[in-house]
Amino acid sequence: MSEPTDNASRYGRLVELTPVFAALMLHAVAHGRWLLCAPVMVGLLWAALAGVRVEYTPGRLLMAGALGLGAGGAMLWVSEPPTAPFPPAIFGPLCGALVGLSVLCGLGRNRYFAWTYACLLVALSMRVREMQGVGWVLGTLVLSVLLVAFLEGGLARGGLRAAAGFGVFVVVLMGLALVLTRTIWASEGVLMDAVYRMTSGTSPGSGSEFQSEVDIRAVVRSPKGSERPLLVISGDVPGRLRARVFDEFDGARWTTSKELADTRLELPSGRAETEEVLALTVLAPLGTWLPAPAGTREVEGIRPEVRGGWVLKAEDLAGSTLALRTDTRDFLLPEAAPGESLTALPQELEAELRPLAEELTRDAGTAREKARALETYFHDHFEYSLNVDLRGEGNPLTVLVKEKRAAYCTYFASAMAALLRTLHVPARVVGGFAPEERNPLTGATLVRERDAHAWVEVYLEDEGRFVAFDPTPWRSRDETLGLSKERSGFLGNLTGAVGTWLRQMGAGLRYQPLALARALVGSPVFAVLAAGFVLWRLRAGWRGGRTKTRRAAALGTQDVRLAALYARYLKTLRRRAGLVPGPSETDDELLSRLRTVKGDAVADVAAEFLAHYREARYRGEPTLLGPWSSLVDELDAKLRERST
């Protein structure tokens, strides 16, 4: 029986590769990079169990690093960027390159290089401070595995000298990993922050949840919105997704009143006149608020809490897919007229803004007309800018309106709402998203952090509900944010569709793996693929059995395992020594050529194998391959030594 020896060899390879598996696991857990690490770990496990070996060469090392670099960069496009003290555009590809290098060296049996790259990956992955304890546990595990693997590899037979050398290697390796980790942690300061801002244009650690208040300051330098994807919506998405409502203003801050925050509402059970179902996939954590259209009537997949202002509160949504039944007219539900709180302003600010509001709306009679006049005024006379300077005489909003200063959506919405309040028109500020990136091939819309937006909702008595008005000048906004209205073409749309699908799968794998697994297993596509795989394996097994039988018959033996072992012997000579037997060449003649090319030490191992092989072949009894099948491995090792 050859299985014990073969299994021992495979398990030994698994032990050697354990540090690489541990590094991949830690990187995936620390940074949510399962989409990169999970397929690599599965492939590496299969290669170890199947006995796959990759010859190590400098060219292949460079290729593995380049492929890993590209894969790490691609992950930034299809999944959430990893946490790092320097830009993800640098950190992601660097970790991908280390993954590729450690895997190639592991498959090439260059254990020292593989362990070195794995420890470097561990050092970078342990940047997450909450994992310090796990990091030390992992370090102890890796160290013990290294000791076991090297002992199995011959440390006990190497004597004190080999043990001392291995000890120095371990100390240096772990010491470098620890120093690198500490250095990365210590570098989280002004320098790294400056590098991050220069390369990515966003501030580190910016969240996706809307803040609980909106400040109106005189001078602001706001970074351009991040490209980070947050949502994917399939269907005819309206122009705005609501997330927060702010109804109190003290002249400097918009906040949500206690009355509105404590209000609990119920979505209607009936159907609207015109309805559509939107599929919404949450790609990243959004905090506790679910962005949704104004006409949302029902949410399938969760039961959100409906707060005052018809905003939806829900938690732990990342990775989940929801179905939203909405009114295509994007209408908020009717509600009672608000009290005086939605027309309240500080007296000083009201005195400054009222003359301006009356002048701008002198030809308007109704609340709708006044709101439309102010909206048009901002569209026609203002420019969008992320750099705001409202220093001057009076409140910043007064300076904005009187001097037509440049600003961004929060300031325009605040100014319009305040102007309406001076005219006793109930108005409030709403925060959410204004998605624009729709793919015509799939009909799906990708919502990014840069799409965050603010606008005004005005209560109209004739309709008995709040109606949205948006004073932001859109033309200059798109120019400032770099949003192109040009079509990407078929290839660009196709690439975007594939990227969106990968993002959805990656979010499900990271945040909702069980739900994703249930959905995949329950799909008809999975059933078809599973049936096809079973049929393919049955056919492959049948054909493989016939191939082995024909090979055994060609070698003059009925022992399939013996024929396979002899074929592996010939393959080793071909790969390592370049020797291929001629049509009429005997084993002894081939052995003589091997002795001439590689010397007696190598040829003696081959001769010993042939002696056992001949005895097993002509004896005609069941063969025990275990005691001498390792001679092929020894022959392979000696040929590798001679070739280096």
Backbone angles phi, psi at 374, to 5 degrees: -65, -40
Do the domain assignments include residue 345? no
Q: Give the C-alpha separation, 382 to 407, whole Å.
A: 8
| Domain match, 237 and 334 both | yes
Q: Give the C-alpha separation, 268 to 300, whole Å.
A: 14
Q: Give the C-alpha separation, 386 to 407, whole Å.
A: 6
| Domain match, 112 and 245 both | no
Q: How many residues does the chain have?
A: 644
Do the domain assignments include residue 387? no
- Inter-residue contact 625 to 1 (CB < 8 Å): yes
| Domain match, 187 and 289 both | no
Percent of the chain with pLDDT over 90: 25
Among 346-355, 486-495, 599-608, the range of highest mean pLDDT: 346-355
Sheet with 311-313, edge to edge strand ranges? 264-265, 305-307, 311-313, 289-290
Amino acid at 225: G
| Domain match, 441 and 319 both | yes
Helix axes 111-125 and 132-150, enclosed angle (nearest 10): 170
Q: 37 lies in which domain range?
A: 3-198
Q: How many domains does the chain have?
A: 3
Q: Residue 387 forms beta bridges with which residues?
A: 221
Instruction: State the average pLDDT over residues 65-77.
Output: 81
What pLDDT score was predicted for residue 7?
47
- Long-range CB contact pairs, 436-441, < 8 A, 24+: 436/483, 438/237, 439/493, 439/496, 439/497, 439/500, 440/487, 440/493, 441/490, 441/493, 441/494, 441/497
Do the domain assignments include residue 361? no
What pLDDT score was predicted for residue 229?
85
Per residue in 232-278, pLDDT (tens digit) is 998 888 889 999 999 999 998 999 999 999 999 998 877 767 788 89
- Three-class DSSP category at 522: coil
Q: Give the C-alpha separation, 181 to 204, whole Å.
A: 19
Do the domain assignments include residue 514? no
What pLDDT score was predicted for residue 132?
45
What pLDDT score was predicted for residue 496?
76
Last residue of a domain, one of 175, 198, 221: 198
Which residue shows structure tokens 């300077």?
389
Q: Give the C-alpha separation, 347 to 400, whole Å.
A: 18
Which residue shows structure tokens 């990708």?
446
| Domain match, 635 and 556 both | yes
Instruction: State the average pLDDT over residues 315-325.
Output: 85
Per residue in 94-145, pLDDT (tens digit) is 888 888 888 888 887 777 788 778 877 877 776 544 444 445 545 555 555 5
| Domain match, 324 and 466 both | yes
Q: What share of the chain is helix, strand, coil (3-state, %, to 5)?
A: 60, 15, 30
* C-alpha 483, offset from chain centre: 23
Do the domain assignments include residue 19? yes
Q: Give the C-alpha separation, 45 to 38, whole Å.
A: 11
Amino acid at 498: V
Neighbours of 380 (CB within 10 A): 8
Instruction: State the average pLDDT over residues 497-522.
Output: 71
pTM of the predicted structure, to 2 decimals: 0.57
The answer to whether residue 149 scores a pLDDT higher than 70 is no
What pLDDT score was predicted for residue 199?
34
- Inter-residue contact 428 to 421 (CB < 8 Å): no
Q: Give the C-alpha separation, 397 to 253, whole Å.
A: 12
Q: Give the C-alpha separation, 627 to 609, whole Å.
A: 11
| Domain match, 192 and 222 both | no
- Inter-residue contact 419 to 439 (CB < 8 Å): no
Tokens for 101? 């290098």
Neighbours of 215 (CB within 10 A): 11
Helix axes 347-360 and 409-422, enclosed angle (nearest 10): 90
Last residue of a domain, one of 501, 525, 555: 501
Do the domain assignments include residue 451? yes
Neighbours of 309 (CB within 10 A): 22
| Domain match, 69 and 92 both | yes
| Domain match, 110 and 163 both | yes
Closest by CA position to 150, among listed 23, 18, 21 = 18
The answer to whether residue 201 scores a pLDDT higher than 60 is no
C-alpha count within 13 angstroms, C-beta hemisphere, residue 569: 27
Backbone angles phi, psi at 437, to 5 degrees: -90, 80
Per residue in 50-61, pLDDT (tens digit) is 777 777 777 788
Backbone angles phi, psi at 131, to 5 degrees: -105, 20
First to last CA, the chain: 34
The answer to whether residue 417 scores a pLDDT higher than 70 is yes
Neighbours of 108 (CB within 10 A): 18
| Domain match, 154 and 296 both | no
Give the list of residues 6+ apart from residue 1 with CB closer than 8 angstroms, or none: 624, 625, 626
| Domain match, 583 and 626 both | yes
Q: Give the C-alpha separation, 631 to 388, whole Å.
A: 77
Give the list of residues 6+ apart from residue 612 with CB closer than 8 angstroms, or none: 628, 631
Q: Give the C-alpha separation, 450 to 386, whole Å.
A: 12
Tokens for 178? 């620890």
Instruction: State the average pLDDT over residues 625-637.
Output: 76
The answer to whether residue 302 scores a pLDDT higher than 60 is yes
* C-alpha 536, offset from chain centre: 32
Instruction: State the average pLDDT over residues 76-101.
Output: 72
Last residue of a domain, one of 143, 163, 198: 198
Per residue in 210-220, pLDDT (tens digit) is 566 677 888 87
Per residue in 330-347, pLDDT (tens digit) is 889 888 999 899 999 999
| Domain match, 494 and 582 both | no
Containing 531, the helix (H) or strand (E) segment is helix 524-554
Q: Would you call 533 exposed, middle or buried from its count of C-beta atoms within 10 A (0-12, 13-18, 19+)?
A: exposed
Read off the pLDDT band of 372 (50, 70, 90): very high
Q: Give the C-alpha separation, 429 to 413, whole Å.
A: 6
Q: Give the C-alpha separation, 413 to 453, whole Å.
A: 10
Question: Measured at the alpha carbon of residue 5, what is the angle toward residues 146 and 607, in degrees to the nearest 5?
Answer: 110
Residue by residue, what is the 3-state secondary structure of 147-213?
Answer: HHHHHHHHHHHHHHHHHHHHHHHHHHHHHHHHHHHHHHHHCCCHHHHHHHHHHHCCCCCCCCCCCCE
Do the domain assignments include residue 520? no
- Inter-residue contact 283 to 230 (CB < 8 Å): yes
Tokens for 442? 């799939």
Q: Which has the minimum average pLDDT: 485-489, 490-494, 573-577?
A: 485-489
Instruction: State the average pLDDT over residues 456-464.
Output: 95
Higher pLDDT, 212 or 17: 17
Q: Would you call 290 exposed, middle or buried from its count of C-beta atoms within 10 A (0-12, 13-18, 19+)?
A: buried
Higher pLDDT, 542 or 399: 399
Do the domain assignments include residue 553? yes
What pLDDT score was predicted for residue 184?
47
